[in-house]
Structure 1
């Protein structure tokens, strides 16, 4: 109806890859904040990269998406997917007020389409949507999640952190 396509950028992420992303974020933050405790670092890292023990991408219940025109050209949504939100009002936040009108309209179309399909948006990563996860259950008042982490039978057990 709107002459748009949904472009899936990332969906399932193996636990070992999620663990690696989380460890990289922990290392980066540890270097920036050498006086923080491990628990403080885990909490801070969790704002940018989900801890592997709750990661929605590792259960198949999360997608990172954007919009494209019918010819495949990515549309302006006002952000780079996987940009690191550094403070409220950054363009990755769902309610960013600094977006150009076209980007805001495209973002609202994306939100409406995903919400119509039952997906729950993430307020600080407007490209990230979940369904059947712990977060989605919390946001939709369900008693429990549908999905848990999918283990890769061919991978070594990932280190959770540290």
Structure 2
């Protein structure tokens, strides 16, 4: 169990809605759908309505600072089945990168790889008390695009399993290109946190509002107001 999963949830039943993608840029095709992740009738481009308003506020602030720049949506709502698919996929990819067969591992190797995966990925838990952040409709992964519509350099790709993903990994670098990447990360963090989001401590691209991770970072007895969004999103889909 991760520390934030001890935070109590009092789901406010806030509706979930489609992200107005025309106001942002989008990673296309959707990275997890292209791998075969089982979204079914659900869309990865959904958020709780309160989170949506914060996202629109962040985009407005970015446009004011850098005209023509946009937040680029990588991933948002994620059903539990998709979370499980991506955890399994990432585990297999790490095993193969190490020259190992993911279906034929020692207990020690399996435990080591699982620990690396779960440093970044949330456990795909169906327990209503411990939903993965993305399954609440309160979390989003994103980056930045410039006025030409090109993704800016952030120093490492989204979902990389390494310390390079930590938000301040390049803060002390004396290399110009990495200083620029750190500036872009800092800009993204500033825009999002000023809108009411909290950043994942180990992922420069992940921000949330209203979920357990957000409440844990808020402190002062904050509770999560978003639990598993499966019921509120099913009402939208149906």
Distance 1:40 1:150 in 2: 31
The Cα shift of 1:70 comes to 2.4
- Give the alignment's TM-score, normalised by structure 2: 0.55
Partner of 1:15: 80
Q: Does 1:56 align with 2:168?
A: no
Q: In structure 1, which of residues 112, 128, 147 is the aligned counterpart of residue 226 of structure 2?
A: 147
Gap runs ≥5 in structure 2: 1-64, 96-100, 126-130
The Cα shift of 1:39 comes to 7.9
14-23 or 130-139, larger mean C-alpha shift: 14-23
Change (3 A) 1:15 1:67: same
The Cα shift of 1:42 comes to 5.7
Partner of 1:2: 66
Gap runs ≥5 in structure 1: 154-162
Q: Does 1:67 align with 2:144?
A: yes
- Give the alignment's TM-score, normalised by structure 1: 0.78
**Contact 2:117 2:161 survives alignment (8 Å):** no
Partner of 1:91: 164
Q: Does 1:47 align with 2:119?
A: yes
The Cα shift of 1:114 comes to 0.4
Distance 1:114 1:49 in 2: 21
SS at match of 2:159: coil
Change (3 A) 1:45 1:100: closer
**Contact 2:120 2:203 survives alignment (8 Å):** no
The Cα shift of 1:23 comes to 3.3
Residue deviations 1:105-162 (CA, integer Å, cap 9, x gap): 1111101000001111112110111111111100001431111112275xxxxxxxxx
SS at match of 2:204: strand
Count of paired positions: 149
- Structure whose residues are more often helix by fraction: 2
The Cα RMSD (Å) is 2.7
